[in-house]
Amino acid sequence: MKMALHNGAIKIIEADNTQSAIIKSWGKMRYVRAKQMYEAPVSADLLNRLASLVRLPESIEAIRREMNATQEAIDRERIRKDPKPFCRYPVKKTLYQHQVRAANMALLAFGIIKPGEVAENGK
């Protein structure tokens, strides 16, 4: 099986019958008959499923690790008891804890702050 990332989509060619059956059972990728390949938008779930099926190329594996690290940082922030703001938010009133938590998770989700930066700052 060969795979590549192109314009935010993962494309797979030359999958054998067993791999094709597994990929079809997920219901996450569509088969393009004209090009004889599977394609789907990149997501952490899809990359994790593919990693359990085959060894991913290093460039795709790096993206998978980055997506998983971001999701873990968001999950840690979601359950944090006393969240501290990652930056000074442009609001006049004091934010409630759930609002600080949501703003912090948004910064992580949109890639404005990387998960490693959060751990280094001890927040």
Instruction: Specify which residues 41 forms β-bridges with.
Output: 9
pLDDT tier for residue 119 given thresholds of 50, 70 and 90:
low
pLDDT tier for residue 120 given thresholds of 50, 70 and 90:
low
- In the DSSP assignment, the letter for residue 45 is H
DSSP letters spanning 46-109: HHHHHHHHSPPPHHHHHHHHHHHHHHHHHHHHHH-SS---SS--S-SSPPPHHHHHHHHHHHHH
Positive/negative CA dihedral, 9, 118, 62, 20:
negative
Beta carbons of 54 and 19 less than 8 angstroms apart = yes
Looking at residue 41, its pLDDT comes to 97
Q: Compute the distance between CA of residue 55 and CA of residue 53 in angstroms, rounded to an integer.
A: 7
Mean pLDDT of 22-49: 96
Looking at residue 123, its pLDDT comes to 47
Q: Using one digit for the tens of pLDDT, what is the confidence trace for 46-105? A: 999 999 999 999 999 999 999 999 999 999 999 999 999 999 999 999 999 999 999 999
Burial class (CB in 10 A: 0-12, 13-18, 19+), 15: buried
